[in-house]
Amino acid sequence: MNAIPSPFESPAIPVGQPRLIVFLAYPDMGLLDLTGAQTVFWAASRYMNSRGLPGYTLHTASLAGGLMATAEGLAVNTVPLSDFAEDSIDTLIAPGAPNILHAMHKSLDLVAWLAGASGKAKRTASVCSGTFLLAEAGLLEGRRAATHWAMCEMLKERYPSIEVDNDAIFVKQGPVWTSAGVSAGIDLALALVEEDCGREVALQVAREMVVFLKRPGGQAQYSQLLQSQTSEGATFDDLHLWITQNLAGENLTVEALAQQVQMSPRNFARVYKLKTGRTPAKAVEVLRVEAARRLLEDSERNIDQISRQCGFGDEERMRLTFQRNLGVSPREYRNRFSR
């Protein structure tokens, strides 16, 4: 009886030159920042190798080599960076850390190495707060960049020359790529694989990992509904869910919302603004915009159908609302972000 091959078995390495990907390791780095992207490249290599094509050679490296403790407590074995000729590296990837400023302060020698090596590598990328390592190395001067949404203001204050994109999942600026929080490193890695190996390979990897092929680089990091759940607005979680389920109804008035939470309209409007920082009307508007964005990205419905489904009433009203909130028309948004 033949043994069932393990999904973790490495296929035979084909003739050809694989791309060398080096992940930079340092004390207290985030484990998923490292391993999420690594798994994407590993899966892409398996797929490429099975077809007789070169994939990737992956290494986790630190200045001195040896075991490196992550923030979560798991130690990762690393090789010394001196093992690699800098001009042989295809992609350098810097993972983030939960306490990035403290971790970076302990790793200034690594930052100095990165500043010199990045000019010789084909690409340099960061995951989550790893953007701070690239910024400290001077790689983001005058460039647009992404990082975890909770660290955007800190990045702006510390490095004012950087154009910080609060919403982007990942940003490509020439040979430098930056990504948002933690799991966005998977989106970034999928985009790098698609650039290297084509859409078919990236799609196969996404299927294997049970993730979307990619969230577009300019797509919002988190939903308005999720944002409301992480603030004082959590008082109205059930109401927000009800709104999202009833967006097609145009009569989502203060009176209708107040009735849903069994409050008087006047008291509801006052408490809602106090808890969420928004008026009820503005909350309905941003939830409608968010729902419309998802449909523009993922569905083939025409814009007029989407405008009615999301409660805008007509295409023109939806266009004006998009311009007010996003600075682009629905058509422009679809052209940029539709899959």
Shared domain check, 88 and 44: yes
Question: Which residue, of 150, 177, 209, is where some domain finishes?
Answer: 209
Q: What is the CATH number for 95?
A: 3.40.50.880
Shared domain check, 160 and 42: yes
Question: Which residue, of 209, 243, 277, is where some domain finishes?
Answer: 209
pTM over 0.85: no
In a domain, 2, yes or no: no
In a domain, 243, yes or no: yes
pLDDT in tens, 16-31: 689 999 999 999 999 9
In a domain, 236, yes or no: yes
Shared domain check, 267 and 203: no
Shared domain check, 201 and 232: no
Domain span including residue 26: 19-209
Shared domain check, 27 and 125: yes
Shared domain check, 247 and 191: no
Q: Which of 71-75, 118-122, 152-156, 215-219 has the lowest mean pLDDT?
A: 215-219
Shared domain check, 162 and 59: yes
In a domain, 10, yes or no: no
pLDDT band at 211 (very low <50, low <70, confident <90, very high): low
Is residue 1 pLDDT above 60, yes or no? no
Shared domain check, 161 and 31: yes
> What pLDDT is stored for residue 319 in this prediction?
93
In a domain, 128, yes or no: yes
Q: Which amino acid is at 65?
A: G
Shared domain check, 138 and 63: yes
> What pLDDT is stored for residue 14 in this prediction?
39
Residues counted in the chain = 339
Long-range contacts of range 256-261, CB-CB < 8 Å, 24 or more positions apart? 257/284, 261/236
> What pLDDT is stored for residue 7 in this prediction?
33
If one counts the domains in the chain, the total is 2
Q: Which of 282, 128, 146, 291 is nearest to 223 (CA)?
A: 291
> What pLDDT is stored for residue 74 in this prediction?
95
In a domain, 12, yes or no: no
In a domain, 182, yes or no: yes
Shared domain check, 81 and 192: yes
Count of other CB atoms within 10 angstroms of residue 32: 19
In a domain, 324, yes or no: yes
Shared domain check, 134 and 38: yes
Percent of the chain with pLDDT over 70: 87
Q: What is the CATH number for 303?
A: 1.10.10.60
Q: Average pLDDT for residues 264-285, to the nearest whole number?
A: 91
Shared domain check, 243 and 205: no
